Structure 1
Amino acid sequence: MTGRHRRSGRAGRRLTVVVSGVPWDGVKGSERQLAEALTAHTDVLFVDPPVSPATPARYRGLSGAGRQWRPRSQPVSDRLTRLTPVALPGLSRPGVRAATWPMVRSQIRRTLREMRQWPTTVIACSTHDVLGRWGAGVTNVLYGTDDWVAGAELMRIDVKQIVAGEQRNLAGADVVLAVGPELAARWRESGAAPEVFPNGCDPDAYAGIGEVTPIELPPGFPDKIAGLSGQLSDRIDLRLLEAVADTGVGLLLVGPRDPGWQPQRVDALLARDNVHHTGPVPFERLLPCLARFGVGLTPYADTAFNRASFPLKTLEYLAAGLPVVSTDLPASRRLQAEFRELEITGDADSYALGVLDALATPPTEARVAARRAFARRHSWAARAARLVELLENREGTT
């Protein structure tokens, strides 16, 4: 195993294993942000989804690593270790799939032995088979970051496989977290008792936005800019981006692009003079991009998957002091009930008008401060503290 390391003197310290559904690199998702926030309370082993030597580069994150043949573990900080396990090529195919997660669990155990620690908590952030495999005294947590069943239907993945894995993990979980009440309601029908556990943000990561040098844009690019940070995929309502671009304001798109997402229409959008796509940007280099935004966009399509989601980007825009224009999602409505300034619109024309109104409103110090204060109430630090409280309450009753 490359990057082998030992942590002498750590025996007895609490350790949480976060088995993520998305890799550490790339768009900084809820799994990674929760894992980082948990380091205030516990050591963390973050486990990437497994890769194989045949895994395409676009699914290996932004680390720049070549094809991976062996598991790789490396310290990220004094309290956080990252493990990228390996599996056989075709790891999600029937037949091969049956061997994938036993292999991954074996690699996790080997890493734990090298760390000389055993987990007090294991958090599964997907439907994969990782709960109930670690012996007595380990708390098993299912963290529903999205409605995976709705996502499988959207992405034409084997829904029966996802449902079976979800039901197995619900049965094996001691604590169940659901990103929103929509997912929680569905899981209650299966007999679970989920805690609604919304996404958060890291306010400190955006505090210095006024001090960074904004990224360079093409000559002649409009001064008024609407920005979208995140994955460009079929979660986005492309009509809304086209409508914003039709107004003539600058449209700055920051994040990876799914090549299968309406390629001809997206190509046409990106070819416009007032549209610029940066491509994937690591979280650590995101601030100069956001410094160009005059308004942040949450233009999600109206799908069952999105209706059960909680867009990270909305809170992150607010943490950066930006106004936000969102489509009409249940999570956005809940945020708007607390923070009236959040703009929610309907069709493409009203969305574009909402963007123009936001860009025309001066960014006063009071407005910026109010946005940041609201985001701070929804920090990942607060979410991590709540999870620790849930775990401690359970330990006190067992």
Structure 2
Amino acid sequence: MTGAIMYISGGRWDGIPGTDRLLAEALAEASPVLWVDQPVSIARHADVRRSTLASIRGRTEMVQPGLRRLRLPALPGFSRPFIRRSTEAISRCSLRALAGDHNGRIKGVINASPLVVFPREVHAPRVLHVTDDWLGSAPLLGLAPRHVERVLRENLALADTVTAVSPGLAHKIQAFSGRQVNLLPNGCRTPKALQHGKTMPVAALVGQLNERLDARILELLGESGLPLVVLGPRTEKEVATRRALDRFLSRPTIQWRGPVGPDEVSHLLSTARVGLTPYAESEFNVSSFPLKTLEYLSFGLPVVATDLPAARWLGNPYVRITGSPTEFVNGVRDALQIPPAHQQRLRIQSTARSHTWCVRAEQMLALIEGRQTTEPGTSSGPHQVGSR
């Protein structure tokens, strides 16, 4: 099947790379991709303001080979009820123009946005890809829950196929919608060849620092005196979380390097001894599939993680699932005491190869092209796209 994939994302192309961008980049290796940004205010984003007319006309720009980007402009306060209508109208107009420019050469639409409705003008297979608990997280994201629910219901009615990134989220959307939801988990970049070399006796925590992390685990890690390197930006919103992070990051054995480039992330994960996924047990996290867990494995790192459905779904012997903050810290201490041998790191790395973004992209393309059958599901469980 020829043509481009339209990918309506839940974020901006130049935001922190997450599920949408990583999957779209992998899709672009096999098929042209038309990336559509989440609507954002023209008052806050100069690039969107400058390209408003071009966006409404469906004009895109190339951001990498095989992948073109369309910005969606919105008026200031676009989440307010009256202004929201203008945002929806602008989005419809922009997507209609984009579809017209490609004159029936769109072979599929992936919608991963909590705010944008499928374009009705595109007559191609539609996949609603639910990447987060949009209903539960709407207030945290500054979105109106009733509006998010309305958009979700409309997209569920329009979608040919529905996928979700975690078992917990698939269960939730299946119960909400009453229709089959396929499990298409998050992935990781293709593992690079490991270099022989000494590891440092440090643990690694990579990613955004915010309310998703378990404050009690962070507190005990700080008190333990275990050496820990932290990479990533602080994105917390609540005062209590800010204070907890202040205390944690001020500990003498905690090195926080802030947001860094991919080379520094690669260097740390190539030389650390264990990766950490200390997520709190919240409704939002139960529905999530932490990207960091697979990223650690792809570098040959054993992982210590909290007990979430996504961690159990992996069924990976190198992911130590813990049931309490004390058990988590003990798991980190145990991992730091014995440096993993090179052969062990290769074995760990090999377990990530069936979860790369290229594998996920192939599974998504197969769904769109009608050549993918899901593994048998049950009345209580989602169908799994492809095989693990």
Whole-angstrom CA distance in 1 between matches of 2:71 and 2:267: 29
Whole-angstrom CA distance in 2 between matches of 1:276 and 1:316: 20
Whole-angstrom CA distance in 1 between matches of 2:103 and 2:150: 34
Asked whether 1:393 is paired with 2:357, we answer no
Asked whether 1:322 is paired with 2:301, we answer yes
2:67 paired residue number? 80
From the superposition, tell whether residues 113 and 154 of structure 1 become closer, same or farther in structure 2 (CA, over 3 Å).
closer
Q: 1:328-382 CA distances to partner (integer Å, 9 max, x unpaired)?
A: 00110121x2x21211112221111100111112211221111111100111111
Q: 2:284 pairs with 299, 302, 305, which one?
A: 305
* Contact 2:133/2:284, CA 8 A, preserved across alignment: yes
From the superposition, tell whether residues 127 and 51 of structure 1 become closer, same or farther in structure 2 (CA, over 3 Å).
closer
Q: Which moved more, 1:275-284 or 1:43-52?
A: 275-284
1:334 paired residue number? 313
Asked whether 1:191 is paired with 2:178, we answer yes
Alignment of 1:254-273 (within 5 A): 254-261=231-238, 262-273=241-252
1:370 paired residue number? 347
1:165 paired residue number? 151
Q: 1:50-87 CA distances to partner (integer Å, 9 max, x unpaired)?
A: 222333xxxx7xxxx76744247431222111223221
Whole-angstrom CA distance in 2 between matches of 1:39 and 1:353: 42
Asked whether 1:151 is paired with 2:137, we answer yes
Residue aligned with 1:193, SS: coil
Structure 1 unaligned spans of 5+: 1-11, 215-222
* Contact 1:52/1:69, CA 8 A, preserved across alignment: no
Asked whether 1:202 is paired with 2:183, we answer no
Whole-angstrom CA distance in 1 between matches of 2:292 and 2:21: 15
2:383 paired residue number? none
Q: Which moved more, 1:19-28 or 1:276-285?
A: 276-285
2:87 paired residue number? 100
Whole-angstrom CA distance in 2 between matches of 1:155 and 1:87: 17
Q: 2:36 pairs with 26, 43, 47, which one?
A: 47
2:376 paired residue number? none
Q: Which moved more, 1:364-373 or 1:65-74?
A: 65-74
Asked whether 1:280 is paired with 2:251, we answer no
How far off its partner does 1:250 sit? 2.3
TM-score (norm 2): 0.85
1:27 paired residue number? 16
Letter in 2 for 1:310: F
How far off its partner does 1:13 sit? 4.3
From the superposition, tell whether residues 263 and 116 of structure 1 become closer, same or farther in structure 2 (CA, over 3 Å).
same
* Contact 2:36/2:72, CA 8 A, preserved across alignment: yes
* Contact 1:300/1:326, CA 8 A, preserved across alignment: yes
* Contact 2:4/2:31, CA 8 A, preserved across alignment: yes
How far off its partner does 1:135 sit? 3.5
How far off its partner does 1:145 sit? 0.9
2:379 paired residue number? none
Letter in 1 for 2:16: V
* Contact 1:68/1:86, CA 8 A, preserved across alignment: yes
Q: 1:359 pairs with 318, 336, 348, which one?
A: 336
2:126 paired residue number? 140
Residue aligned with 1:321, SS: coil
Report % sequence identity: 38
Letter in 1 for 2:156: L
TM-score (norm 1): 0.83
Whole-angstrom CA distance in 2 between matches of 1:48 and 1:67: 10
1:383 paired residue number? 360
Cα RMSD after superposing both structures: 2.8
Whole-angstrom CA distance in 1 between matches of 2:278 and 2:69: 32
How far off its partner does 1:120 sit? 1.8
From the superposition, tell whether residues 116 and 155 of structure 1 become closer, same or farther in structure 2 (CA, over 3 Å).
closer
Asked whether 1:349 is paired with 2:330, we answer no
* Contact 2:99/2:121, CA 8 A, preserved across alignment: no
Residue aligned with 1:120, SS: strand
1:89 paired residue number? 76
Residue aligned with 1:267, SS: helix
Whole-angstrom CA distance in 1 between matches of 2:260 and 2:66: 25
